[in-house]
Copies of this chain bind each other. A is one copy, B any other.
Amino acid sequence: MQTRIGFAGLGLMGGRMARHYLEKGFPLTVWNRTPDRCAPLVAAGATQAKTPRELAERSDVVVACVSDPPAVERLVFAEDGLLAAARPGFTYLETSTISPSMARRVDEALRAKGARMLEAPVTGSKMGAEKGTLILMTGGPRALHDELMPVMMAIGSQAIYCGEMGQGSVVKLIGNGLISFMLAGLCEGLVLAKKAGIPQETVLEVVMASGYQSPYFPFKGAAIARRDWDTHFSIDLLVKDQTLALEEGAVHGVPMPGLAAIREVFQSARARGWGAEDIAAVYKVIESASGID
């Protein structure tokens, strides 16, 4: 019998991820804080739960993809939260990027009721969610990772086991730290090119032809070139992750001078009201600091 999937959080990422379960024949129940977002999936065959608790009751595995720690707090620990329906045999797959300490806290609460949890933050952006080619970074029991592979491969192309609960989140934070470096470096370079009278396309051409390349650069470079800040991954969410990464640095004793400097640049984007725009919009901060208005 097919695993009954519950999906919580139908935002930019989650909405696209949940659809794969329907397409691959999993019985699917959905829940979202603002219930309207459930409509397209219900129209396509999903059942709608009124509360996270009901979602958990109707599912063997709840896959969650929500935006930030308070949203996880509400989802799990509220009176009508899924913890209320946790039981032996119930499994929680957390794909949101949260702090390692929060992952451990949720895990403990679930285990106290005999349920199980695997953290599996994802990378791949809106497009990876759409195509089902996300990469999942898992933390928790190795055996649970193996058992959940079919559930994970419905939305992703690869699941990499990172270690115990919390370590999947750390790897995700490291990855988003890396993105922050790459994007900040690209933006400083593109503004320098602009002010030095060099076409930004030339810089991107060189980057892509060389060892400097990354799949990331042509994608974000082109967005910057046409000043398209349509959100694939928002500045607000990336700053949240940068902040969590710096906190992990503090916990484990790792000074991160590069990331600290870069986070303040992104903070400026938030302070100026661009927090909901795509992370590429950090380019505007460097431009503005350079006197381009």
Question: What is A's interface to B at a CB cutoff of 8 Å?
Answer: 123-125, 128, 135, 137, 158, 160-163, 167, 170-171, 174-175, 177-182, 184-186, 188-189, 191-193, 195-199, 202-203, 205-207, 209-216, 239, 243, 245, 248-250, 252-265, 267-268, 270-273, 285-286, 288-291
Q: Is the pair A267, B291 in contact by a Cβ cutoff of 8 Å?
A: no
Q: Is the pair A180, B185 in contact by a Cβ cutoff of 8 Å?
A: yes
Q: Is the pair A290, B271 in contact by a Cβ cutoff of 8 Å?
A: yes
Q: Is the pair A189, B174 in contact by a Cβ cutoff of 8 Å?
A: yes
Partner of A209, one of B158, B161, B264, B289: B158
The interface residues of chain B lying within 8 Å CB-to-CB of A163 are: 197-199, 202
Q: Is the pair A255, B290 in contact by a Cβ cutoff of 8 Å?
A: yes
Partner of A196, one of B182, B196, B248, B285: B248
Given contacts A192-B256, A254-B289, 10 further A-B contacts (CB under 8 A): A170-B198, A174-B203, A175-B207, A181-B184, A182-B182, A184-B258, A192-B254, A253-B267, A254-B290, A258-B258
For A266, give the chain B residue with the smallest CB separation: B255
The interface residues of chain B lying within 8 Å CB-to-CB of A192 are: 170, 174, 245, 248-249, 252, 254, 256
Known: A181-B185, A268-B290, A291-B273. A202 touches B261 (CB 8 A): no
Partner of A255, one of B161, B179, B199, B289: B289
Most central of A170, A213, A288 by chain B CB within 10 Å = A170
For A191, give the chain B residue with the smallest CB separation: B254
A210–B184 CA distance with the chains assembled, in angstroms: 19
Give the oligomeric copy count. 4
The interface residues of chain B lying within 8 Å CB-to-CB of A255 are: 264-265, 267-268, 271, 286, 289-290
For A240, give the chain B residue with the smallest CB separation: B250
Q: Is the pair A264, B257 in contact by a Cβ cutoff of 8 Å?
A: yes
A258–B271 CA distance with the chains assembled, in angstroms: 17
Q: Is the pair A267, B245 in contact by a Cβ cutoff of 8 Å?
A: no
The interface residues of chain B lying within 8 Å CB-to-CB of A128 are: 211
Partner of A207, one of B162, B178, B213, B257: B178
Q: Is the pair B253, A264 in contact by a Cβ cutoff of 8 Å?
A: no
Q: Is the pair B195, A253 in contact by a Cβ cutoff of 8 Å?
A: yes
A7–B245 CA distance with the chains assembled, in angstroms: 38
A22–B162 CA distance with the chains assembled, in angstroms: 50
